Amino acid sequence: MRLIATVLCLFTTSLTAQTTLAFTRAQHLRRGINLSMWYAQAPNYSPERLDTYTTPADFELIRNLGFDHVRISINPEPFIAEPTAATLRPEALARLDRTVQQITSLGLVVILDIHPEEPWKRDADATADGAQKLLTFWRRFAMHFASTDPTLVYFEILNEPSTDVYRWAGLQARLVAEIRAAAPQHTIIATGGGWGGLDDLLLTEPVRDDNVIYSFHDYEPFAFTHQGASWMGPVQAITTNVPYPSSPEIIAPLLATLPDEAARIALKRYGEDRWNKQRMQEEIGLVADWAQRKHVPVYCGEFGTYKTFSNPTDRARWIRDMREVLEQYKIGWDMWDYQDNFGMVTKTTNTPTADPALVEALGLHSPS
């Protein structure tokens, strides 16, 4: 009888965990797109650029393609009126309010992703003053958006924290408490430290809050997804024409063309690792298992490929494989990104056109 009671208790606990508000809200994050280089990572934040870079025509296309949500990268600095972040700029908030209203009026969920530039983020991750500034910012920011519909507006604490997983765990718990005090009903998106990757999430312990979704980013293998990306370092910058899937046989002809030994070693390893859909299943399966053990919902907040140097057919194949594997494990996703150098859309005189190959790879609808 004691064994039966124990099993029933475990079953009831698991069932309760699987029906928390976070699981319900996660169902609205099935297929998403990142709106980047707009409210964050932009050359400037002038009203003219903010009004024209991404527009209601883009929101309509996103909805018509079959996405159910967007993730807006937000640099906090243009919103902060003074050094401690105790006061936010009313005009900046009003503009973001209009954006959120335009998007949610179409039935799309909006993730407000705090996505600072590296110096600001490193300070928040590594110093007491920086952490306090982030806490203060979130208190004001969450208070402002607390009146929005919590089924349509979610809060993402910080994009890719650069601190170690243990320091970040403590700070993230404080941030969750700060946001929750200001916005009791809104869903929070948390992540692991160490840049928020898959491995980092596996080392993360969930916070004590039933309305939190856990995010990870997955660009593996970087040898393919970031080929030719100069910001990734000299090896990545000179490595182009990289195929997908990988095997030693497929990679061998490319090795002979690389003059740099470090690049050859990295590419040889990529071939030997045999990256394909099965390898993706093994990797994403680790996250799915973690989520089941921890009784929390998970979500892939970023995945994508740098399009400048990748073969379009291989790029579409990688994106399709990743999307199908995530959906196999019932993990919602958000592709990086909408219209920049990982983008699925091009614009001519501000009219957005989606890449048909990526529309198909993402399992979306071709707009009429």
For residues 224 and 247, the answer to whether their CB atoms sit within 8 Å is no
Q: What is the pLDDT of residues 143-155, one digit of tens each?
A: 999 999 999 999 9
pTM of the complete model: 0.93
Is residue 8 very low, low, confident or very high in pLDDT (cuts 50, 70, 90)?
Answer: very low
Distance of CA 89 to the CA centre of its chain: 26
Q: Say if residue 10's pLDDT is above 70.
A: no
240-270: burial string, b at 16+ Cβ within 10 Å, e else: bebbbbbeeeebeebeeebeeeebbebbbeb
Q: Say if residue 324's pLDDT is above 90.
A: yes
Q: Say if residue 16's pLDDT is above 60.
A: no
Least reliable range by pLDDT among 161-165, 261-265, 304-308, 324-328: 161-165
Is residue 17 very low, low, confident or very high in pLDDT (cuts 50, 70, 90)?
Answer: very low
- Ranges of each domain in the chain: 2-235+276-361
Is residue 18 very low, low, confident or very high in pLDDT (cuts 50, 70, 90)?
Answer: low
Q: Say if residue 205's pLDDT is above 90.
A: yes
For residues 113 and 159, the answer to whether their CB atoms sit within 8 Å is yes
Residues above pLDDT 90, as percent of the chain: 85
Q: Say if residue 80's pLDDT is above 60.
A: yes
pLDDT at 368: 63
Residues constituting the chain = 368
Three-class DSSP category at 184? coil
In the numeric block, which tokens belong to residue 224?
A: 């393919």
pLDDT at 15: 37
Rounded CA separation 48/43 (Å): 12
Q: What is the pLDDT of residues 268-287, one digit of tens each?
A: 999 999 999 999 999 999 99
pLDDT at 3: 35
Q: Say if residue 367's pLDDT is above 80.
A: no
Pure H helices in the chain: 2-18, 21-26, 47-53, 56-65, 90-104, 118-126, 128-145, 165-182, 198-202, 222-225, 234-238, 248-255, 261-272, 277-294, 312-328, 356-361
pLDDT at 164: 85
Architecture, CATH, for domain 2-235+276-361 = Alpha-Beta Barrel (3.20)
Mean pLDDT of 34-63: 96
DSSP 207: P
Instruction: Give phi and psi for 108, each to the nearest 5.
Output: -90, 140
